[in-house]
Amino acid sequence: MRNSLFRRTPRLANQPGFTLIELLVVIAIIAILIALLVPAVQKVRESAARMQCTNNLKQIGIGTHGYHDANKRLMPGYNYNATTDISEATWLYFLLPYVDQMQIFATANLSQNFGSLPNANSTLNGYLPAVYSCPSDSMVAKTCWNFYIKGSYAGNDGIGPMVSPAGGWTGPGVTTIGVFMMNTKITMTDITDGTSNTALASEIIKVTGATDDLRGVMYYPEGPLYQHNTGPNSTTPDNLRQGACMNVPEAPCIGTTYTAYNNRSLIMAARSRHSGGVNLALADGTVRFVSNTVALTTWQALATIRQTDVPADF
Amino acid sequence: MARRMPTWVLGLFCGFVLIGSGCGNRVLEVEGSVEFDGVAVASGSISFEPADGPGRDFGGVITDGKYKITSPPGVEPGAKKVRIRAARKTGRQIPAGSPSPPGTMVDELVVVPANYNDSSELTAHLEAGVANRFDFKLVSGSPIP
């Protein structure tokens, strides 16, 4: 009995069939092959998602240049003036017609504040164009305050903290000027550091969880602008609005140092769910992958538009 | 017919193992306490940046006046600029304003002055392989004592 279970007897050697051991060996080999294949499939999946994220950022870069060609200047980071423009419409809003999103762009009403929903701008704020969504960051995030859906991209707001003084980007408290700031209307030639030495946009993580966290919100100033105070995917917590911080390991934050639009002190690092770094669009339209280990001095040199600081190789 | 492995092969192997496990994963550890106007900081952030030269920043949260941070691998020891962002509550409640839903109230705050964060004068020298400890006593409206 034992003999026939584990070894073919000479009598059965020329008959079809196989022993239990042979079966187990075959199953073991198949298991090993699957074990090799599954991580590879996951890697291919992430690599495809990352490519899509890079491509979206490229589209955003090209769209920004399209806007610049049509308007002879870049769009503002966000618009706000107590008497002439109370919309707080952000750069991602002004970019919409240049990334084939004319229909949703046309639903907006700039005489109503983008931050006081519900109003005429609820439809706009509840729609996520595919080009603003990175599949690596596709986790379903809570819609902020029931109206604000979140994207995955943010514009270079310089080195913060981001403040919103009456004078806009030339007002008090603004330290280092980036490409997209309050009421900016700069041109490509204002970027005297060189467009290939200056960041245009990068990625941010939208977090999941019970708390309303504005990071990633597309059409309100506290969502689609990031600062170069800390490196990509830094462990230093972001500085967010009181009560609007969902602290998670991949996107740490504190929400305890400012309370409202008129005392903003926002710092939001570029973050992504890709392993090891973030995608970065430069003002010349190229997209690079920047490692988390990039020197902070290099990363900060990328933020500035006119400080004659050329970043080291990165 | 098993031949013995030459000693130098074994030595090389051990060398690679040591390099791989030792230098690459070095982390810095730092902990301490933070007070603002004599009261433990309930919630805030602290970060350590290279004071000069290249390198990356790291940081963590301050909870109940204490912080304990392990840096990511590869952060170099040395002189660091420290930035602390925190606030204390005045005890009053004020309206949050948009985009929070109307009626939302938040705590009124007194924030830590800029000379502890945006234009920080705080420094720390972090050593590798030891538990660094730095306690900070911050005060509002005056320079560092």
Burial class (CB in 10 A: 0-12, 13-18, 19+), A303: buried
Contact criterion met (CB below 8 Å) for B71 and B29: yes
Query: Measured between beta carbons, which residues in chain B are less than 8 angstroms from residue A296?
Result: 49-50, 54-57
Contact A235 B94 (CB under 8 A): no
Segment A30-69, tens digit of pLDDT:
999 999 999 999 889 889 999 999 999 999 999 999 999 9
Q: What is the DSSP secondary structure assignment for residue A144, as one 8-state letter?
A: B
With a cut of 60, say whether residue B143 has pLDDT above it. Answer: no
Q: What is the reported pLDDT for A140?
A: 72
Q: Please give the backbone phi and psi of residue A273, each rounded to the nearest 5 degrees, phi first.
A: -95, 5
DSSP B61-96: EEETTEEEEEPPTTPPPEEEEEEEEEEEEEEEEEE-
Contact criterion met (CB below 8 Å) for B137 and B145: yes
Helix (H, G, I), strand (E, B) or coil at A267: strand
Structural domains in chain B, CATH included, are: 27-86+113-136 (2.60.40.1120)
Contact A242 B96 (CB under 8 A): yes
Contact A234 B56 (CB under 8 A): yes
Q: What is the reported pLDDT for A5?
A: 55
- In chain B, the residue whose alpha carbon lies closest to the alpha carbon of A159 is B118
Q: Which among B45, B72, B98 has the least Cβ separation from residue A237?
A: B45
ipTM: 0.83
Segment A222-277, tens digit of pLDDT:
999 999 999 999 999 999 999 899 999 999 999 989 998 888 999 999 999 998 99
List residues of chain A with CB under 8 Å from any CB of chain B: 113, 115-117, 144-145, 147-148, 161, 175, 212, 214, 220, 230-231, 234-237, 239, 242-244, 247, 252, 254, 256-262, 265, 267, 292-298, 312
Q: What is the reported pLDDT for A64?
A: 97
Helix (H, G, I), strand (E, B) or coil at A215: coil
Q: What is the reported pLDDT for B1?
A: 44
Contact criterion met (CB below 8 Å) for B136 and B40: no
Contact criterion met (CB below 8 Å) for B5 and B101: no
Contact B60 A148 (CB under 8 A): no
Tell me chain B's radius of gyration from C-alpha atoms.
23
Segment A123-170, tens digit of pLDDT:
999 999 999 999 998 677 778 888 999 999 999 999 989 998 888 888
Contact A115 B99 (CB under 8 A): yes
- In chain A, the residue whose alpha carbon lies closest to the alpha carbon of B45 is A237
Query: Measured between beta carbons, which residues in chain B are less than 8 angstroms from residue A148?
Result: 99
Rounded to an integer, what distance in angstroms lies between the CA atom of residue A304 and that of residue A260?
Answer: 26
Rounded to an integer, what distance in angstroms lies between the CA atom of residue A245 and that of residue A209?
Answer: 10
Nearest-neighbour CA in chain B from A233: distance (Å): 10
Average pLDDT on B90-108 reads: 86
Q: What is the reported pLDDT for B17?
A: 52
Domain parsing of chain A, residue ranges: 40-303
With a cut of 70, say whether residue B25 has pLDDT above it. Answer: no
Higher-confidence residue of A196 and A309: namely A196
Q: What percent of chain A has pLDDT over 90?
A: 72
Q: What is the reported pLDDT for A10?
A: 56
Rounded to an integer, what distance in angstroms lies between the CA atom of residue A87 and that of residue B145?
Answer: 44
Give the model's confidence band at B128: pLDDT under 50 very low, under 70 low, under 90 confident, else very high. Answer: very high
Q: What is the reported pLDDT for A6?
A: 57
- In chain B, the residue whose alpha carbon lies closest to the alpha carbon of A241 is B96
A277: β partners: A291
The overall average pLDDT reported for chain B is: 84
